[in-house]
Amino acid sequence: MNDPEQLASYNASTIFHQPTEIQRLTAVEEFLRVNSITAYNIYTDQTLRDYRQRFTHFDVPVQLCFGRDPTVVNPEAGVFTAKNLPKSRLAIFEHSSHCPFWEGSETFGDILKTFVASI
């Protein structure tokens, strides 16, 4: 896909479990705010690099939040990460994909408040 608007629209349709039109349009607008070179670098870095060995050395509390919908990121990645980060907590959002902070904002906020209060 060489058309930034087409790619942004596709990505916006995948990051939500059941996207509303407002969510999709807002995400497209946000994606298009990033210039194409920066967007490419972000995408390739997060997709092509394997950081799994690096994060096993983190010795700080971590709150992990994953959506159950595996369209963008399989929630098993969260399970793997939680098993390999000794001070981590994992929350799986049943009705979310890549954006639990948006699709389950109230629950996300509660989880974040609880996590922050624990450290």
Domain boundaries, the chain: 1-49, 53-119
Residue count (the chain) = 119
Task: Write phi, then psi, for 74 (nearest 5 degrees).
Answer: -70, 130
Per-residue pLDDT, 1: 60
pLDDT of residue 5: 87
> pTM for the whole thing?
0.84
Successive 10-residue mean pLDDT values, the chain, 119 residues: 83 91 93 87 84 83 96 93 93 95 95 96
| Tokens coding 38 | 């920066």
State which H helix or E strand residue 89 sits in: strand 88-93
Q: Are 68 and 94 in contact (CB under 8 A)?
A: yes
Answer yes or no: are the C-beta atoms of 97 and 17 closer than 8 Å.
yes
